Amino acid sequence: MTRDRLTEILAAHSEGREPSAAPDRTVNHAEPDRQTELNSLLETAALARQVLVPVSPAPAFRARLHDGLVLAAHHQEAQRMLQRPRSEPPWGWLIGAAALGSAAGLVAIALRSRGQPAKSGVGPQPQQ
C-alpha cells in the first residue's frame, strides 16, 4: 500500500465511506507495517472524533449577542441613510445663487448709471 493510498483510505474513513476502488483495495497482509500504521492513525482519528464534540454558547449569551447585533445593524443602517447623497435638486443653493446674481446685476446697473453724463438740458452744458 502506497502512502497516497493510505491518505485516501484515511480521508474516506473520516467521511464514513469506503475509499474509491483501487488495485489494492483490501489491505495487503504482506505489508504488516502499513496495516499497523493505518490502524494507529485510525485510532488517533477515533480519539479526536470522540473528544471534539460540538458545543453551543450559553443561551443568555447567545440571546444577548443577537439583540446587540440587531441593534447595531439598525444603527448602521440609519447612519448609511444619513450619509446617502440627495436625489432632489439643492433648492437652497439655487435660490441663494439667484439672489446673489440679482444683487450683482442691480449693483452693475447703478454703477453704470453714475458713470454716464446727464442727457437733459438742465444743469451746466459744455462750451461749444
Partner 1 sequence: MSEPEAILIARAAHDAEAFGALYERYVDRIYSYIFYRVGNVHDAEDLTARVFYGALAHIDDYRPSGAPFAAWLYRIAHNLVANWHRDRSRRRDIRLDDAVGIVQRGDGPEHLAERSEQARVVLSAMATLPAERQHLLILKFVDGMSNAQIAKAMGRTEGAIKSLYHRTLIALREELSKREL
Using the CB atoms, write b or e for 14-39: b if 16+ within 10 Å.
eeeeebeeeeeeebeeeeeebeeebe
Q: C-alpha grid cell for residue 85?
A: 447623497
> According to CB under 8 A, which residues from 29 to 48 bind partner 1?
40-41, 44-45, 47-48
Residue closest to 58 by CA, chosen among 66, 68, 46? 66
Rule CB under 8 A: say whether 14 interacts with partner 1.
yes
x-or-dash pattern for partner 1, window 60-99, by CB under 8 A?
Answer: -xx--xx-xxxxxxx-xx--x-------------------
Contacts to partner 1 by CB under 8 A: 3, 6-8, 10-11, 14-15, 40-41, 44-45, 47-58, 61-62, 65-66, 68-74, 76-77, 80
